[in-house]
Amino acid sequence: MLPELKDVLALARGAGEILRDFYDRPLTVEHKGAVDLVTESDKASEAYLLGEIRRRWPGQAILAEESGAHTGQGEALWLVDPLDGTTNFAHGPPIFSVSVAVAVGGVVQLGVGYDPLREEAFCATRGQGAWLGERRLQVGRASALVESLLVTGFPYDQGSNPDNNLNYFKHLVVRSRGMRRLGSAALDLAYVAAGRVDGYWEIRLQPWDVAAGMLLVEEAGGRVTRLNGEPDVLRQPCSVLAANPALHGLLRQEIEAVRAQAETGV
Ligand code: LIP
């Protein structure tokens, strides 16, 4: 038996309630890497989500940020980010989310990105549109970079890996109307779907960061690919480029120009 969107939404809201309880309280912060944090709120949210999934959909496979891959039977795969934006959560900026998606046969069919502080649930079912409450989501119409508000992020190995997105950032920031780094990939994608920002790209993410958000953007009329234009966004390490179709093409051209410049050294 497969879940319905309302089931995924209920799970995301339940996890969001846990995050609200933890938010603004002193936290124990552990390190998965130099700047890759995990808190008890990540773990508590994930424990809740996995417990509910296993109770109501026993035997279905799960890929979750903190506990990794859990094999199952059948074609369903849950992709769970219990707290997307952990660094913000640990430091204080009120920008984080719960991201839950369900893929069947490798294709994401259901996705929810939930902001527990604003209580905004961005939801999508493949082929049935993307929604924020009763409002149907539609990507923005920016058709020139200089008209576009862009958002991006940086990988956790930003300090040790020279391929850390600064090259694309430097090239695009001066060609756009504005650039933001919000700190939650799931919300970045939800905001592209809602037309709040016009384009988003990021490198070396994980499937749980982007699975729900990529469905939101696709169902809102946007285009989502890897930075190189290939379709398999969820292939690890994930890279993502999301925008309305016209702007997606323009961003692809600029990204290729940066790549060509790096390869030729000119
Ligand atoms: C984060 C993403 C963010 C990215 C960070 C990290 P987490 O996910 O939401 O966009 O820049 O490197 O991947 O770790 O907070 O779930």
Residue 36 pLDDT grade (very low, low, confident, very high; cuts 50, 70, 90) = confident
Relative to beta strand 130-132, strand 135-136 is antiparallel
- Helices 245-264 & 166-173 angle (0-180, nearest 10): 120
Token code pair at residue 125: 């079912």
Q: Which residues line ligand 1 (CB under 6 A)?
A: 65, 81, 84-86, 153-156, 183-185, 202, 205, 209
CB 208, CB 99: distance < 8 Å: yes
- Does position 265 have pLDDT exceeding 80, yes or no? no
In this predicted structure, what is the pLDDT of residue 23?
A: 96
Atom of ligand 1 nearest to the CA of 184: 9
Q: Which residue puts its alpha carbon closest to atom 13 of ligand 1? A: 205
Mean pLDDT calculated for residue range 43-61: 98
pLDDT in tens, 180-238: 999 999 999 999 999 999 999 999 999 999 999 999 999 999 999 999 999 999 999 99
Whole-angstrom distance, CA of residue 173 vs CA of residue 130: 28
Q: Retrieve residue 236's tokens.
A: 């690890």
Would you give the end-to-end CA distance of the chain in angstroms? 56
For residue 24, what pLDDT is reported? 78
d(Cα 49, Cα 65) in Å, to the nearest integer? 12
Kind and range of the H or E run holding 40: helix 40-56
- Among 23, 257, 220, 223, CA closest to 119: 23
Three-class DSSP category at 238: strand
Beta strands 238-243; 199-205: pairing state:
antiparallel
112 Cα–ligand 1 center, Å: 16
The residue nearest atom 7 of ligand 1, judged by CA position, is 84
Chain Cα centroid distance, residue 69: 18
